[in-house]
Amino acid sequence: MIPGPARVILLLTSAALLLAGCGLDSPMTTVEPKSDLGRAIHELFMNISGWALLIFVVVEALLIGVVFAFRDRPGREEPRATHGHLGLEIAWTLVPVIIVIAIAVPTIATIFKTNAPPPREALAIEVTGHQWWWEVRYPELGIVTANEIHLPVGRAVSLSLKTADVLHSFWVPQLGGKRDLIGGKLNNLTFTADVPGEYPGQCAEFCGVSHANMRLLVVAQSTADFEAWAGRLKAPPAPPSGEAAKGHQAFLAGGCVACHTIQGVAAGVLGPDLTHIGGRKTLAAGILKNTPDDLARWLKDPPATKPGALMPKLGLTDDQVAALVAYLRSLK
């Protein structure tokens, strides 16, 4: 049996550790929204939380009051029983109805607001979930990339979401809302980012052994920066030279060419488009940084880095890996 003071200390320590995990500066927080959609959902959450807190305080206050007012005391007579009270019955019927209406009206309004058709000027982006990576297409711009979504601040974006295999769910907490990716169905998500920054996301529907490794990054940037990024992705990659040229040959001779697309080089469809992989911030759907060391680690043994990865271990030599790293990092 733990002594009383020790139990109190243990309880306070546990509470402190629990609250420490609720910091507002977490990149996956939902309480610091950076888009109109995120704010709408957050305001609704705070509204419902406020009503829940009010109900809790009132109920607990009444409970504590009743416990103290009607506690047993020496010499106290048995309390008189009350059978029926019209005022109380009206109150405990009417008050919950008012609370439900106060919650239901903004909830329904938010549902309609967050599912409204996108404005005509919205930037169209097609997102397809695969086990375990994200394919990203900009049909108006002729751009294809993977695991990284760039968008201009202040302009609405309309995401068309679908899956190529099993159920997935698109979720970028600071930009708000989850949308499921369901076979045979096209879902949509519209929002306007209003603060530049990098916002991590995650598949929020269990989709297999590497579900937790199916991440993505949304980069919200100024219109000028977005247009510069789009311009780079529209241009074909520069011809490789030196060590990168050896990597180009290794790419063509190995299994890479069967699965991946590089503009003007290969047209594989099973894996992510690698045309401008050197300019991306992450690798392997967000679980690695795009550094030479992490890229080499990924090329050496993908399944060891990402369990269940469909990219096989190709048995590459150290020289082949080094050449491929030089080539892929040159594709910017």
pLDDT over 70 at 94, yes or no: yes
Q: What angle is formed at CA 330 by the lines to CA 329 and CA 332, rounded to 5 degrees?
A: 90
Looking at the predicted structure, is the pLDDT value of residue 70 above 90?
no
Check pLDDT > 90 for residue 225: yes
The amino acid at 279? G
Per-residue pLDDT reduced to its tens digit, 5-38:
666 667 777 766 666 555 556 778 888 899 999 9
pLDDT in tens, 96-149: 999 999 999 999 999 998 888 999 999 999 999 999 999 999 999 999 999 999
Please state, in angstroms and rounded to a whole number, the distance separating the CA atoms of residues 320 and 329.
Answer: 14
**Cα angle for residues 212, 283, 261 (degrees, 5° grid):** 115
pTM (two decimals): 0.82
Ordered by where they begin, the domains of the chain are 123-222 (2.60.40.420), 243-329 (2.60.40.420)
